[in-house]
Amino acid sequence: MADSTGSDAPTLKVALLGCGVVGSSVATMLVTNGDDLAARVGARLELIGIAVRRPDRPRPDVPVDPALFTADADTLVRSADIVIEVIGGIDPARELILTAMQHGASVVTANKALLAEDGPTLYAAAAEHGVDLYYEAAVAGAIPIVRPMRESLVGDDVVRVLGIVNGTTNFVLDKMDSTGAGFAETVEQAQALGYAEADPTADVEGFDAAAKAAILASLAFHTRVASADVHREGITEVTAADVQAARDMDAVVKLLAICELQRDESGVPNGVTVRVHPAMIPRSHPLASVRDAYNAVFVEASAAGELMFYGRGAGGDPTSSAVLGDVVAVARHRLAGGHGPVESAYADLPVVPMGHASTRYHISLAVADRPGVLAQVASAFADHDVSIETVRQRVLGEGDDSRASLVIVTHRAPDSALAATVEALAGLETVDEVVSWMRVEGA
């Protein structure tokens, strides 16, 4: 497309922090789509520098002048109109963003860890200096979810967010379901295909998803939520037997980020729960069909009802698409003299402990096959006010010492009551073993 902005069009100076997988794609798109971006913004976006640790390293796949690479990020951000931060981590990213804002630059970042740990500081700096802070790429890559939460749904009451927000874990669990393979084997496959890092801890232990859950909960409930507030469990303990147990009840196992509004007896919001953990969801639920390394976020709002956002949640090109969308938005604001949304934390609801969350459990028990066992098991549930939804029993042997398998699915109850029930079951003389337990969502 020809440049329709004209030769006298203004120029906005753009600084890029980081040139890894995402940064390389962002730089490429800024250069190759320069005319189109100028036409959409109404100004030329001039890439004035790319801050990297090793500026002399050859980067033949990035079509920019090698002279643009610099190790002096601090000087670079002081001379930019828009700063794009894709280096990740807490420091030096935080200081560079704050410095950029102090010198009048709007910031576009993909840094979920920093936003989840210290988002209020960044918001405050943006407000103080009259600049924008945009971060669509921080949650679920190319999927537009941050802007709908900040803008499209801001007039509604969001009551629940249920998301698959980590592609690595979704790939692993999907392959465990479709092939019957174990966890370690499937992680190795994900690493070979580039879906998992050499050290996959941040993904498989749920740290990545927890940071994203904190951001989504903050937006959904107008309340400050940090990563430390999120109950987090990873998928390292999920076994092939767990996946098969889900299959037996026509369900799949997913690592879910769940953000819920809590209400008192009169219906007034009195807190939020934010959690990340593996859970079984029925195959009939829309999230169950999210395969491979894809992400999806399912939102429930009072007026809008149920909404689902689906797409590629990671990777250079998908993430850079979200970054460039933000760049265009903040550039337009700069030309028009306006600003995008600021932090909305007016509700200031407490983040309540995981034990207050309302959940269901799938529990598998190995028990003695003799009269009275089922009654003892049922009594353990009743003692903790947990209602049983279904029970399936299978005899494992014959004779005087025969054993049986019990699979129990509960109705919703406080998570603390369910955890106490599992502990009580493990202490029964007639229960050989609590083979497994897992939360059930989406029904």
Which helix (H) or strand (E) is 189 found in, with range?
helix 183-192
Task: Name the amino acid, one letter, at 198.
Answer: A
Task: Name the amino acid, one letter, at 169.
Answer: T
Q: Is 19 annotated as a binding residue?
A: yes
Catalytic residue among 13, 175, 212, 254: 212
For 154-195, where are the E strands, in sequence order?
A: 158-164
**Do 304 and 156 touch, CB atoms closer than 8 A?**
yes
**For the residues of 86-129, what is the DSSP string, one character each?**
-S-SSTTHHHHHHHHHHTT-EEEE--HHHHHHHHHHHHHHHHHH
3-state SS, residue 154: coil
Between CA 160 and CA 413 the distance in angstroms is 17
Q: Is 20 annotated as a binding residue?
A: yes
Q: Is 24 annotated as a binding residue?
A: yes
What's the Cα-to-Cα distance from 220 to each of 154, 261, 326, 382, 385, rounded to whole Å? 8, 9, 20, 35, 31
**Do 161 and 297 touch, CB atoms closer than 8 A?**
yes
**Do 192 and 157 touch, CB atoms closer than 8 A?**
no
What's the Cα-to-Cα distance from 252 to each of 255, 265, 285, rounded to whole Å? 10, 33, 10
For 264-418, where are the E strands, in sequence order?
A: 269-282, 294-301, 305-312, 358-368, 388-395, 403-410, 413-414
**Do 363 and 245 touch, CB atoms closer than 8 A?**
no
Q: Which 8-state DSSP code applies to residue 53?
A: S
Phi, psi of 244 (to 5 degrees): -70, -40
Radius of gyration of the chain (CA): 25
3-state SS, residue 30: helix
Q: Is 21 annotated as a binding residue?
A: yes
Q: List all residues 6 or more positions away from 429 whose beta carbon is below 8 Å from its beta carbon.
A: none
Phi, psi of 231 (to 5 degrees): -70, 125
Q: Is 22 annotated as a binding residue?
A: yes
Q: Is 197 annotated as a binding residue?
A: yes
Question: 316-336 and 34-41 helices cross at what angle (nearest 10)?
Answer: 40
82-85/106-109 β-pairing = parallel
Copy the structure tokens of residue 288. 């169950």
The reply to whether 212 belongs to the active site is yes
Q: Would you please indicate which residues are annotated as catalytic (active-site) residues? A: 212
Annotated binding site: 17-24, 112, 197
Annotated binding site for NADPH: 112
Annotated binding site for NADP(+): 17-24
